[in-house]
Amino acid sequence: MITLTVLGSGSRGNAFAFADEGAVLLVDAGFSARELERRAELAGVDLGSLCGIALTHEHGDHSQGAVRLARRRGVPVLASSGTWNALRGVRSVTHRLLRGTSRIECGPFTLAGCALLHDASEPLALTITSSSGVTIGVAYDFGRPTQALRYHFRALDAVVLEANYDEVMLRTSEYPPGVQHRIAGSGGHLSNRATAQLLQELLHPGLGVIVLAHLSQQCNSPELARHAVEPLLRRSGFRGELHVAPQDAPSEGILVRGAETQLELGVVPQAS
């Protein structure tokens, strides 16, 4: 079992904490180190047990506090070579290389990466697997899902997936046409509608938790994201938990169980 805590996710910063066997892994650190520590304390996440900080890419809303927090806590930063080089390879912090073709261990967690389409230097989607086999996928900041991503996320117990913008709100926003095109392009972000379609493809009996993440402050809302995604998933047979990640405050811990445990508890239906 893994406890997933959203420290914050949206246009102004993203960070997720995963806890298992007394260890904590952060995926992204898009707030200052001080703010990350404040939010972790509010959520009851013990950063004294931090084993590493994994980064999906170098943009500030995902990496702002990573180096300082890693230095302060004496833990490595796990990132692709492109992400690390974009951060200018801070020598005072240990870098562990994340690739899209191999696995890496950090405490009780095993991480694997998958390349994404985004306007960043070697961005990755990540899967995090516990020693008991519970697997969670994190994918945001991408404009189009690839077949590689679909394969990488084919049998997850939980998924954190971007639902960045509502298409009507984007088209009627004050963003210039060029910015709108970038956001909606293959290297931009995923719309609510596209997120719903991808989740429907990823749906299987063992998927017990979905977290909609990285909502745009200007072009989305929790209500719009949930309304676009939940009805389609429920009609497709999803019986698990659907959460919308908060931006301004940490969430309560979300328990992610393996598929066998979920079936024993009746959380998800048996496959017919």
- The pLDDT confidence band at residue 272, using thresholds 50, 70 and 90, is very low
Record the tokens describing residue 177, joined without a space.
Answer: 């046409």
CB-based contact 209:254 (threshold 8 Å): yes
Higher pLDDT, 263 or 101: 101
- H/E element holding 112? strand 109-115
Query: Which domain covers residue 244, as residue numbers?
Result: 2-265
pLDDT at 220: 97
The residue-averaged pLDDT of 246-270 equals 74
CB-based contact 114:148 (threshold 8 Å): yes
Is residue 234 included in any domain, yes or no?
Answer: yes
- The pLDDT confidence band at residue 266, using thresholds 50, 70 and 90, is low
pLDDT in tens, 8-17: 999 999 999 9
- The pLDDT confidence band at residue 259, using thresholds 50, 70 and 90, is low
Please report, for residues 10, 201, 204, the alpha-carbon distance to residue 270 in angstroms, rounded to integers and kept in the order given.
Answer: 34, 18, 10
Is residue 57 included in any domain, yes or no?
Answer: yes
Higher pLDDT, 269 or 211: 211
Is residue 270 included in any domain, yes or no?
Answer: no
pLDDT in tens, 68-122: 999 999 999 999 999 999 997 567 899 999 987 789 999 999 999 999 988 778 9
pLDDT in tens, 117-143: 887 789 999 999 999 999 999 999 998
Is residue 272 included in any domain, yes or no?
Answer: no
Give the integer Cα–Cα distance in Å for 110 and 168. Answer: 39
Task: Judge whether residue 269 has pLDDT over 50.
Answer: no
Give the integer Cα–Cα distance in Å for 33 and 30. Answer: 9
pLDDT in tens, 151-205: 999 999 999 999 999 999 999 999 999 999 989 988 889 999 999 999 999 999 9
pLDDT at 260: 57
Q: Domain containing 28 — which CATH number?
A: 3.60.15.10
pLDDT at 23: 98
Give the integer Cα–Cα distance in Å for 55 and 229. Answer: 26
Q: How many domains does the chain have?
A: 1
pLDDT in tens, 22-48: 999 999 999 999 999 999 999 999 999
pLDDT at 261: 54
Is residue 271 included in any domain, yes or no?
Answer: no
Please report, for residues 161, 220, 226, 229, 237, the alpha-carbon distance to residue 211 in angstroms, rounded to integers and kept in the order given.
Answer: 6, 15, 10, 11, 17
Query: Mean of the per-residue pLDDT values for the chain?
Result: 92
